[in-house]
Amino acid sequence: MVTSFSGTEWSLANDPQPGVQDKSRKGSFIPSFGDALYRRYHVPIGIASVGHGSTSVRQWLPADTPVHVMPTMTRYVRTDAAGTLVSDGKLFEGMMLRIHQLGVHGFRALLWHQGESDSHQPAEHDIDAVTYRSIMVTIIHASRKQAGRDFRWFVAQATYHTPEDPSCPPIRDAQRSLWQPDLAIEGPDTDTLISPYRQNGGKGTHFNDAGLKAHGLLWADRCRNTSTRFCVNPSIKTRGQNALSHQLRRGEPCLVRVIHGYLTDTT
């Protein structure tokens, strides 16, 4: 009852997730997330993952958008003819390809979990909260413009690195500032998943098996708690059942767009 879309076909949503842009063969929060939604609504759940691990928000900008500070991972950023750093647009285009493949009203919301690679970076690669927010606004508006509709975004808080560096308050504030009616809906706070949920005996950044499962439950809780805003058609009223359940029964799939989540072999 939980399936993933690779861009060419649907299959059971077992890890590794098909269609991700980093070709990851590791684990994700998707099975836990999908199972939790199915347990709640008892209707088919559809997911399309187009994420890429370890990426900065800068690398998700549309093609030729200026990038004033090079991210730590330099892929997806190039120098144009004028010598300016710009995004090459590949990640944004990969995301938009899946959106167009699913079609108008073909998914309910886009889930954004990213931020670690923009938190407490070396000085030569660091950006401030104002820049982070500005880039996110650009990506959200550009995605909606190209899709031709104002589909919903959920934005998580995600800045955790290690037990010694458990969060980046300025970037968290920037993520939280996006929770506005015309921009995004509040996603989960995965910085709360500390050492017991992290690899390398709790010393790592990436989630262990327990962390990925908990991560999926956090996302499911956020989607359940905002179900009336999560539905595609706001004209549907909640009369005896919530709007999300009503629309899921119509077979409309979800789009889950994941940045960090393919991080362990154990799920």
pLDDT in tens, 205-238: 999 999 999 999 999 999 987 754 444 343 333 3
Helices (H), 148-208: 169-177
Show the tokens assigned to 79.
């120098």
| Rounded Cα distance, 261 and 185, in Å | 20
Q: What is the CA radius of gyration of the chain?
A: 18
pLDDT at 90 over 80: yes
Three-class DSSP category at 203: coil
pTM greater than 0.75: yes
Residue 153, amino acid: W
Show the tokens assigned to 9.
């076909």
pLDDT in tens, 152-181: 999 999 999 999 999 999 999 999 999 999
Other C-beta atoms within 10 Å of 50: how many? 24
Other C-beta atoms within 10 Å of 222: how many? 18
| Rounded Cα distance, 135 and 56, in Å | 10
Look at residues 181, 172, 142, 143 and name the one whose alpha carbon lies nearest to residue 257: 143
